[in-house]
Structure 1
Amino acid sequence: MIDFVEDPGASDDLSWLADSWDAIGFTIRNIDPIDLSCDSHVKHYENFLNRVRAALDRYGMRPLLVGGGPGYSLFAGQLLTRLGFDVGVIGPGEQVMLDILDAPQEYYGLGKNVTGRRYSGFMTQTLGHPKSLMEVYTHFEGAMIGVETRRKTCYQGCVYCPYAYISGDNGGDLKPLELIASELRSVYSSGIRRVFFTDGIFNSELRYAKEVVRLITELDLPGLTWSAYFTPKPFDDEFAELLAGSKVEFVVISPDSLDDRVMKLLGKTFDTRHVDRCLERCRRHGIPARVNIVFGGPGEDRESVRNSIQYANSKLEDGELVMHVGYRVLPQTGMARQLGIPDDDLLPPTFYPFHPDIFSWIMRDLDNRFMPPEALFNLMAARSSSKRMAKVPLPANSPESAPTEFPYLALSRQLPLV
Structure 2
Amino acid sequence: MANVLLVNLGSLPMPGNDPIFPIGLRCIQDALDREGHRTRLVDFVEDPPAREHLSWVKGPWDVIGFTIRNIDPIDLSCDGHVAHYEAFLGEVREVLGSDRPLLVGGGPGYSLFAPQLTSRLGFDVGVVGPGESVMLDIVADPHRYTGSGSTISGGRYPGFVRDTLEHPVRLMRAYAARNGSIGLETKRKTCYQGCVYCPYAYVSGENAGDLKPMESIAAELRKAHENGIRDVFFTDGIFNSELRFAKDVVRTVIGADLPGLTWSAYFTPKPFDDEFADLVSVSNAGPVIVSPDSLDDRVMRLLGKSFDTRHVTRFIERCRRRKMKFKVSVVLGGPGENRESVRNTARYLNEHLESDELTLNVGYRILPETAMARQVGLSPDEILDPTFYPLDPEIFSWIISELDSRFLVTARMLNLIGGRTASRTMHKIPLDQAAFDPAAVAITRRSLPLVETRSGRGSRCV
TM-score (norm 2): 0.85
Measured after TM superposition, the shift of residue 184 of structure 1 is: 0.6
Mapped to 2, the partners of 1:35 and 1:5 lie a distance apart of: 19
Summarize the Cα distance change of 1:404–1:280 in structure 2 as closer, same or farther, 3 Å threshold.
same
Q: Which residue of 2 aligns with 1:216?
A: 253
Structure 2 residue 112 is the aligned partner of structure 1 residue 78: no
1:34 Cα deviation after fit: 6.8
How far residue 363 of structure 1 moved from its aligned partner, in angstroms, is: 1.7
Cα 1:263–1:378 change in 2 (3 A) is same
Letter paired with 2:166: G
Q: Report what 2:31 is aligned to.
A: none
Q: For 1:316 and 1:254, locate their aligned partners in 2 and report how far apart those are by CA, in whole Å.
A: 14
**1:17-32 matches, cutoff 5 A:** 17-32=57-72
Please say if 1:7 is aligned against 2:64: no
Shift of 1:245: 1.1
User: What's the counterpart of residue 315 of structure 2?
Assistant: 278
Corresponding residue number in structure 1 for 2:56: 16
Asked if 2 retains the 8 angstrom alpha-carbon contact of 1:244 and 1:287, the reply is yes
For residues 68-95 of structure 1, the C-alpha deviation after alignment (integer angstroms, 9 at most, x for no partner) is 1101100011111111000011111111
Q: 1:416 aligns to what?
A: none
Q: Which residue of 2 aligns with 1:135?
A: 173
Deviation digits for residues 179-202 of structure 1, max 9, x if unmatched?
Answer: 111111111111101011111111
The reply to whether residue 412 of structure 1 matches residue 420 of structure 2 is: no
Q: How has the CA–CA distance of structure 1 residues 316 and 352 changed in structure 2, closer, same or farther, with 3 Å as cutoff?
A: same
- Residue of 65, 84, 99 corresponding to 1:44: 84
Q: Give the Cα separation in 2 of the matches to 1:34 and 1:354.
A: 21
- 2:120 maps to a residue whose letter is R
Secondary structure, in 3 states, of the residue corresponding to 2:42?
Answer: coil
**Alignment partner, residue 182 of structure 1:** 219
For 1:313 and 1:35, locate their aligned partners in 2 and report how far apart those are by CA, in whole Å: 27
AA at the equivalent of 2:206: D
Matches within 5 A, 1:303-382: 303-382=340-419
**Partner amino acid for 1:401?**
A
Give the Å deviation of 1:35.
Answer: 6.5
- Structure 1 residue 33, shift from structure 2 partner: 2.9
Answer yes or no: is the 8 Å Cα contact 1:34–1:328 preserved in 2.
Answer: no
The answer for the alignment partner of 1:226 in structure 2 is 263
Give, in angstroms, the shift of residue 313 of structure 1. Answer: 1.1
Question: How many angstroms apart in 2 are the aligned matches of 1:379 and 1:350?
Answer: 19
Matches within 5 A, 1:191-206: 191-206=228-243
Shift in alpha-carbon separation, 1:407–1:370, aligned structure 2, 3 A: closer
1:159 maps onto 2:196 in alignment? yes
Equivalent residue in structure 1 for 2:145, among 94, 101, 107 = 107
Query: In the aligned structure 1, how far is the partner of 2:242 from the partner of 2:276?
Result: 12
Q: Paired residue for 1:172, among 200, 205, 209?
A: 209
| 2:156 aligned counterpart, secondary structure | coil
Distance in 2 (CA, whole Å) between partners of 1:328 and 1:35 is 13
Q: CA deviation at 1:118?
A: 1.1
Paired residue total? 407
Match of 2:304 in 1: 267
The whole-number CA distance in structure 2 between the counterparts of 1:378 and 1:145 is: 29
The amino acid across from 2:298 in the alignment is: R
Q: Would you say the 8 A contact 1:154–1:163 is kept in 2? A: yes
Which of 74, 96, 110 is 1:56 aligned to? 96
- Counterpart of 2:337? 300
1:119 paired to 2:153: no
Using a 3 Å threshold, how does the CA distance of structure 1 residues 393 and 34 change in structure 2: closer, same or farther? farther
User: 2: CA distance between counterparts of 1:230 and 1:88?
Assistant: 31
8 Å CA contact 1:202, 1:228 repeated in 2: yes
Q: Which runs of 5+ in 2 are unaligned?
A: 1-40, 448-462
Tell me the amino acid that sits aligned with residue 94 of structure 2: A
Question: How far has the Cα of 1:345 moved from its partner?
Answer: 1.5
Letter in 2 for 1:105: H
Give 3-state SS (helix, strand or coil) of 1:405's partner.
coil
How far off its partner does 1:264 sit?
0.7
Amino acid corresponding to residue 303 of structure 1 in structure 2: E
**Is 1:146 the equivalent of 2:186?**
no
**320-329 or 242-251: which moved more?**
242-251
1:98-134 residue CA offsets vs partner (Å, 9 max, x unmatched)? 1111111111111111111111110111112111111
User: Aligned-pair distance for 1:406?
Assistant: 3.5
- Per-residue CA shift, 1:23-55, capped at 9, x if unaligned? 111101111137753422111111111111011
Q: CA deviation at 1:376?
A: 2.2
AA at the equivalent of 1:361: W
Find the residue that maps to 1:388 and give its secondary structure: coil
In the alignment, the residues of structure 1 paired with residue 54 and residue 278 of structure 2 have an alpha-carbon distance, to the nearest angstrom, of: 51
Instruction: Provide the C-alpha distance between the structure 2 equivalents of 1:373 and 1:125, rounded to a whole number of angstroms.
Output: 48
Distance 1:237 1:407 in 2: 43
CA contact (8 A) 1:35 1:326 kept: no
Cα deviation for residue 304 of structure 1 reads: 0.7
Q: 1:372-411 to 2 correspondence within 5 Å?
A: 372-394=409-431, 401-411=435-445
4+ residue segments displaced more than 4 Å? none
- Indicate conservation of the 8 Å contact 1:297/1:326, yes or no: yes
Which stretch shows the higher mean deviation, 27-36 or 152-161?
A: 27-36
Q: Distance in 2 between matches of 1:171 and 1:51?
A: 41
Does the 8 Å contact 1:37/1:385 carry over to 2?
no
Secondary structure in 2 aligned to 1:364? Answer: helix
Instruction: Give the 3-state SS of the residue equivalent to 1:170 in structure 2.
Output: coil
Percent identity over paired residues = 61
Distance in structure 2 (CA, Å) of the matches to 1:334 and 1:68: 23
Kindly indicate whether the alpha-carbon contact (under 8 Å) linking 2:428 and 2:441 is maintained by their aligned counterparts in 1: no
Q: What CA distance in whole angstroms lies between the structure 2 residues aligned with 1:370 and 1:200?
A: 28
Structure 1 residues 190-216: Cα deviation after superposition (integer angstroms, max 9, x where no partner): 110101111111111111111111111
**How does the TM-score come out when normalised to structure 1?**
0.94
Contact 1:32 1:349 in 2 (8 A): yes
